[in-house]
Structure 1
């Protein structure tokens, strides 16, 4: 993919990243609610929550964000290849 293709894909990638972040946030809230029975995940500075709960929430949130971002990025790249015949770099 030439420089024009890279530049053209960049805004698409940014928009996909924003969408992925929003989707991941929604997925994490639902998963946390089902796993813990609590509507809100703990903040790292929440004095009333233990280390285990705070770290478990952070690990789960990180895994979900990484999974959703990878899926959205891969889907975007696949879509670009279908449209242009070239894989974005």
Structure 2
């Protein structure tokens, strides 16, 4: 395993935690913007429709994936600028 990949691991973990918080906040704002309640439904919410639960899950998954990819890419690009090697 390359040294740059090992050195990037703690950075990647920190970025992953931060991206999870950012994605969670972005999802809450997006859910409010599309005109639903302040709280997104859970799969076991009895009084929510299938459509609403599946829409929330799809939106949350898309936002988390985009934020994670953007943060991972930015972190790898920054490591490359600092060390001259790509961490992947």
TM-score (norm 2): 0.95
Rounded to whole Å, the distance in 2 between the matches of 1:9 and 1:60 is 30
Mapped pair 1:68 → 2:58: no
Query: What are the equivalent positions in structure 2 for 1:27-66 lying under 5 Å apart?
Result: 27-66=26-65
Q: Given that residues 4 and 85 in structure 2 are in contact (C-alpha distance below 8 angstroms), is that contact kept between their aligned partners in structure 1?
A: no
Question: Stretches of 4+ moved more than 6 A in 1?
Answer: none
Mapped pair 1:26 → 2:25: yes
Structure 1 residues without counterparts, runs of 5 or longer: none
Q: How far does the alpha carbon of each residue in 1:1-58 deviate from its partner, in whole angstroms, 9 at most, with x for none? A: x632221100000000000000000000000011133100001000100000000000
**RMSD in angstroms over aligned alpha carbons?**
1.0
User: What secondary structure is seen at the aligned counterpart in 1 of 2:40?
Assistant: coil
Rounded to whole Å, the distance in 2 between the matches of 1:51 and 1:70 is 28
Rounded to whole Å, the distance in 1 between the matches of 2:36 and 2:43 is 18
Rounded to whole Å, the distance in 1 between the matches of 2:8 and 2:81 is 13
